[in-house]
Amino acid sequence: MSPLSVAAVAHRARWRSLPPRHVVFLEDEPCRNLHVLVEGRVECYRASAEGREQIVTMFDRPGDTFCIPSAFATGRNVVTARALVPTRLCLIDRETFVDVVRQNPPMALRLVQAVSLDAKRVMDLAESLALCTARVRVARLLYERALAEGVRSGRGVELARERLREDEVASRVGTVRVHVSRSLQSLVRAGTIVLDRALIRIPDLAVLERVARGHADEAFRNRPLARALPPAGRHVTFVTDSRAARA
């Protein structure tokens, strides 16, 4: 953008500070602004009539911009956005941004790229919900978060549990809390993760990656209990006293 365009946007930009759990905007409301994250963390989700939520995407990097599809295509918010922590936003009204884009073709190209990435994220989410088990989806989320914010510890990684509450994980992966709890315990029994009060420890990130990609059979066959069981193809015959059964 030219300095003149930057100045025009800055002149009309507004700042907004939000407390945790505050709703930024609601789904299906008219989209009047683009939002730029200055600091904090915002989740965008859709909710059913029964109140069940599915998180579509999360913004936690300064400079993340959201509402692009709503501002340039639908005219209405396609999701609800909510601040998770104390958050500061820069708001740019839709008309100003449209005028600037018309005058800056390279910027328009970048916006097309951004919308394409958003579309890919939604397609990946749809594929995950339709084709992957809850355990694989939970493993995939842990793996992605480990890459983004994990603390290295030898070959493994540690994650803070407070940023991965079970109800939040359930919303992210499209299931309910009880299934998240079962998936986490399944990963623990396989030795893929270790849980304590404060941390989720991932001893070997490569193993978690295999589970996240759906290649979990090998990891789960290596459990001590699994090794003690007969192979899946082996038949087991149960012998009963037929006379006692008839009596």
CATH of the domain at 165: 2.60.120.10
pLDDT of residue 131: 65
Same domain, 171 and 57: no
166: buried, middle or exposed (CB in 10 Å: 19+, 13-18, 0-12)?
middle
Give the structural domain span for 87. 3-125
Question: What is the separation of C-alpha 66 from the centre of its chain, rounded to a whole number of angstroms?
Answer: 15
pLDDT at 224 over 60: no
Residue closest to 176 by CA, chosen among 134, 225, 235? 134
Please tell me the distance from the alpha carbon of residue 101 to that of residue 227, in angstroms, as a whole number. Answer: 61
Same domain, 115 and 12: yes
Q: What is the mean pLDDT of the chain?
A: 79
In a domain, 90, yes or no: yes
In a domain, 71, yes or no: yes
pLDDT of residue 40: 94
Same domain, 25 and 115: yes
Beta bridge partners of 123: none
Torsion angle in degrees (nearest 10) through CA of 107, 110, 116, 122: -90
Q: Coil, helix or strand for 189?
A: helix
pLDDT of residue 156: 82
CA max distance for the chain: 96
In a domain, 235, yes or no: no
Same domain, 92 and 145: no
Same domain, 138 and 112: no
Same domain, 24 and 115: yes
| Residue indicated by tokens 């999701």 | 79
Question: What is the separation of C-alpha 107 from the centre of its chain, rounded to a whole number of angstroms?
Answer: 27
Highest mean pLDDT among 3-7, 41-45, 127-131, 219-223: 41-45
The predicted-structure confidence for 103-145, as pLDDT tens digits, reads as follows 878 877 887 787 777 777 777 767 666 667 888 888 888 988 8
Same domain, 58 and 106: yes
Q: Which residues contact 43 (CB under 8 A, 6 or more apart)?
A: 55, 57, 58, 59, 81, 82, 84
pLDDT at 194 over 60: yes
The predicted-structure confidence for 159-170, as pLDDT tens digits, reads as follows 988 888 888 888
Same domain, 177 and 66: no
Please tell me the distance from the alpha carbon of residue 127 to that of residue 8, in angstroms, as a whole number. Answer: 41
B/e letters for 218-247, b = 16+ CB within 10 Å, e = fewer, are ebbeeeeeeeeeeeeeeeeeeeeeeeeeee
